[in-house]
Structure 1
Amino acid sequence: MGKNTLKKEIGLLAASAVVIGMVIGSGVFFKPTAIYTATGAPGLGMIAWIIGGLITIAGGLTAAEVAAAIPKTGGMIVWLEETYGEVWGFLLGWVETVISFPANIAALGIIFATQAVSLLGLGDEMLIIIAIISIIFLIVMNCLGAKVGGNIQTVFTIGKMVPILAIIVFGFINGNGGVVRLFPVSVATHPIATSLGSALLATMFAYDGWIHVGNIAGELKNPKKDLPKAIIGGLLFVMAAYILINMAYLFVLPASALAATKTPATDVATLLFGAAGGKVITVGILVSIFGTLNGNILTGMRVPYALALENKLPGSKWLSKLTPKTSTPINSGILIGVIAIVMTLSGNFNQLTDLLVFVLWIFYVMTFIAVMVLRKKKPDLIRPYKVPLYPVIPIIAIVGGLYIIINTMFTQPLNAGLGLVVTAIGLPIYYMRKNKTAK
């Protein structure tokens, strides 16, 4: 094994935990507020969760074919390069390295610190300190090896399910609302088309993150079999958990109450378990966010490493180095961590994340279309897994993704334009590095 070769030591369980852990974070606890504010009715909110899950699963079923056929470290970057050319893979890697992953890490660090400060009764001056410490700690842990990062992900993914399962079970048993709380489907003051669109966007944020498991494909023991299983199995589990916990929420509180609070899960838990229930859920939220933060670091640090291996980034020789004993891209982890910490200090991570949503969904749709392109372009490519009901499932994923893109263009034209500008900045860097390598 060469010094720049990643170790294949991640199994199906850890890969599935990455999918579940990357998706289930703060969204399951906080997104009900936005969804029921948008819909004004419980039924339409539940429909949004279901449709969002179906679009995500269609995307997972579709992307899994490309992932199994091209099981290389870098995930979507490599898939786009194989399909459309290396410039598209670079642009995605550029966006993920400079803004997407660092912004997510910074945001999760701040949310984690906010919950910790609230639970421990600390002053707000500790918020940034705790956020930075949590980020540095997990970067150090992941630099000890993919196995360590994978084990952390597995443990915290299991741990985050405890409060979710508690709310589901006791919500169904002790909730006073009953099934009637799922009705009405809509209200006159909230037009179905626009309300469902806004709610669907919120659910898609909650479902996001699963595709990044492809970044560790090169470290899976059996990527061709385990990668599609991890994606599909993980997403089915997430969708079931989201639908059940939202039903439990509605059995305890009406949609109007969920829309009026910033902490729907804590409010529900307080009613179910008493005053101590709020603190229990706060601990559960901490566990959930910590696991998601770890998943973003585990997968994010592989992105600049994959680009550096091909000498596509300034400082590629340094970024492509691995630790001698654990074969971990430590320098790439440091880069991601430093950018994340700067974003944490600046306080602009939420705006940066919003800017990139539009652009990232363009790459998602391109990945879904890649299944069709590769079937024509490379019919002899070995495909251990093929998307079922082709081409229906890919079309569902593509249409769902296009809806998000078009909706953002109309509702947030400034953010969409700024996102494209940030992405375009990567073009001169790509061509400069390409010319330098050619010479």
Structure 2
Amino acid sequence: MAEAKLKKSIGFGAALSTVAGTVIGTGVFFKASAVTESTGTVSLSMLAWLIGGLITICAGLTAAELAAMYPETGGLTKYIEYSYGPFWGFLAGWAQAVVYFPANIAAISIAFGTQFVNLFGLKAIYIIPAAIICVITIMTINFISVKVAGKVTTIALICKLIPLVAIVVLGFFHSGSEAFSLFPVTAGSGSPFFTALGQALLATMFAYDGWIHVGNMAGEMKNPKRDLPLAIAIGIAIVMVVYLLVNGVFYWIKPISEISGNLNIASDVSNVIFGEIGGKIITIGILISVYGGLNGYIMTGMRVPYVMGLKNKLPFGKYLSKLNKSGVPYISGIVQFVIAFFMILSGKFDAITNMLIFVIWLFYTMAFWAVIKLRRQQPDLQRSYKVPLYPLIPIIAIIGGLFILISTVITQFGITMIGLLITILGIPFYVYLNKKYDLN
């Protein structure tokens, strides 16, 4: 029987829109507060968004070579497994199943709760209940109908562009803040430059996250060698420009003191630009955008433990791989909800995102090195796409990854150790499952 092959039907336009649509999400509305709190200045904040975008472009171009080599379901987990062996592949999957996706679900739901409370003028104690209810409603929709859940994502994609376009187009026509200055690039008083930059970059990485999924379409592209690097470079460059413009409007309208640590800055700026009623309409658009983004992570997240369960790569795999009548891995979804629930109770948006970015960038950086590793070990392996300007682009991605990881350990030691500990907890499970099912 002939092996089924992916249809090569994706052109440059579809790839480009997928890049931009995947990356633009919750972070652009909620991470200006953390970036500003870290830097203390407009100039260094804007530089952090720029460097974060450039690192992401190099990361996307590098990881895409692995995606083109292994165009199959599994993404990052498969890249790591093929490059370093089944143990590391398992650990990458474990980290995504118990840290990355639950933490994303928790962080985005907290952002939703924060914005919801702000919109209706409720007390802060209602943020966590609103976040939990938000997750439960999306989880229920997913359990009932995958088709309806998909429509939620489509509607949210349109809604998240409306606030961005409105803020950028009209924001700079408003009278600016006297403190707005891009030069010289300095850190705030009492903050070492590179420490402040490292913390700010960590915050931007959450906003730019999502690029790893773009390479998964390599096997379905008509001309991946030409279109994939262009789609990634141009797509992320567009995202970077949008992020710079949106944050530029924030700094143009509001002083640093009102942005730092303020998760409602997008809503506050919208109120200034459009008035109270217009600001509320924009805030509703942001809420729908966040709701859709959360739906996307719940849809994809619950399928990671499901796939691992099918292959006996998680404890209680036979339960995690069960589907309900709608064909949804509901037990996997419930498990991720329980993990996310305890993270939501902390109410710490930035701490949760810092943890998930640290953990996932451990494996991202391994993937970047894998490109160089495989070029040396398997030079004759067929590659429909090769990263341009090799080895410069992969080296920039690796250096960027190492800088993010090291600076995070230095400045966020406690939260990084929690993320690392949860990841390491997967090792005894691997040892047990490997003895029982021979995962090699």
Q: Which residue of 2 aligns with 1:303?
A: 304
Counterparts of 2:229 and 2:145, CA distance in 1: 23
- Alpha-carbon contact 1:359-1:419 (below 8 Å) kept: yes
Counterpart residue identity of residue 379, structure 2: P
Point out where structure 2 has 5 or more consecutive residues left out of the alignment.
none
Deviations for 1:96-116, whole angstroms, at most 9, x for unmatched residues? Answer: 212221122122223213322
2:118–2:264 Cα contact (<8 Å) kept: no
Other structure's SS at 2:31 match: helix
Task: Specify the alignment match of 2:66 in structure 1.
Answer: 66
CA positional deviation for 1:202: 2.2
Which letter does structure 2 place at the counterpart of 1:307? M
Q: Give the alignment of 1:238-317 within 5 angstroms.
A: 238-259=239-260, 261-317=262-318
CA deviation string 1:396-430 (max 9, x = no partner) = 10000000111123223333333332222111101
Taking structure 1 as reference, are residues 184 and 351 closer, same or farther at Cα in structure 2, changes over 3 Å only?
closer
The answer to whether the 8 Å contact 2:187/2:196 transfers is no
Residue matched to 2:405: 405
Match of 1:387 in 2: 387
Where does residue 201 of structure 2 map in the other structure? 200
Counterpart of 1:336? Answer: 336
- In terms of mean alpha carbon deviation, does 353-362 or 63-72 score higher? 353-362
Distance (Å, rounded) in 2 between the aligned partners of 1:345 and 1:262: 17
Specify the SS of the correspondent of 1:274. Answer: helix
Do the aligned partners of 1:110 and 1:128 also contact (CA within 8 Å) in 2?
Answer: yes
Query: Gaps spanning 5+ residues in structure 1: where?
Result: none
Distance 1:83 1:224 in 2: 25
1:419 corresponding residue in structure 2: 419
Q: CA RMSD in A?
A: 3.6
CA deviation profile, 1:221-268 (whole Å, cap 9, x unmatched): 659848767655542332121011122223323445433755322232
Q: Which amino acid aligns with 2:284?
A: V
> % of aligned pairs identical?
49
SS in 1 for 2:361: helix
**Matching residue of 1:117:** 117
Structure 1 residue 87: Cα displacement: 0.7
Write the distance in 2 (CA, Å) between the matches of 1:401 and 1:9. 32
TM-score by length of 2: 0.84
Q: 1:295 to 1:171 in 2, by over 3 A?
A: same
Distance between the aligned counterparts of 1:112 and 1:52, measured in 2?
24
TM-score of the superposed pair, with normalisation by structure 1? 0.85
Q: Which secondary structure does the structure 1 equivalent of 2:313 belong to? A: coil
The corresponding residue for 2:133 is: 133
Q: Give the Cα separation in 2 of the matches to 1:409 and 1:124.
A: 30
Counterpart CA distance in 2 for 1:16 and 1:28 is: 19
Change (3 A) 1:51 1:71: same
Asked if structure 2 preserves the Cα contact closer than 8 Å seen for 1:212 and 1:299, the reply is no
- 299 and 230 in structure 1: CA distance in 2 versus 1, 3 angstrom threshold: farther
- Whole-angstrom distance in 2 between the partners of 1:384 and 1:324: 39
Q: For residue 176 of structure 1, what is the aligned residue in structure 2?
A: 176
Amino acid at match of 1:315: F
Task: Check conservation: 2:15, 2:231, Cα contact below 8 A.
Answer: yes
Structure 2 counterpart of 1:71, which letter?
A: P
Per mean C-alpha deviation after superposition, the further-off stretch among 261-270 and 310-319 is 261-270
- After the TM superposition, which residues 183-222 of structure 1 pair with which residues of structure 2 at under 5 Å, given as runs? 183-186=183-186, 189=189, 190-212=191-213, 222=221
- The aligned residue for residue 53 of structure 1 is 53
1:24·1:207 contact (CA, 8 Å) conserved in 2?
yes
Cα deviation digits, residues 298-356 of structure 1 (max 9, x gap): 2212211231232111222333345677x554443333234323543565786555444
SS at match of 1:74: coil
- Count of matched residue pairs: 433
Letter in 1 for 2:112: F
- Quote how far apart the aligned CAs of 1:148 are: 5.0
- Tell which deviates more after alignment, 301-310 or 73-82: 301-310
Distance 2:147 2:7 in 1: 9
CA distance in 2, matches of 1:290, 1:401: 29
Shift of 1:295: 1.9
Following superposition, the deviation at residue 89 of structure 1 comes to: 1.2
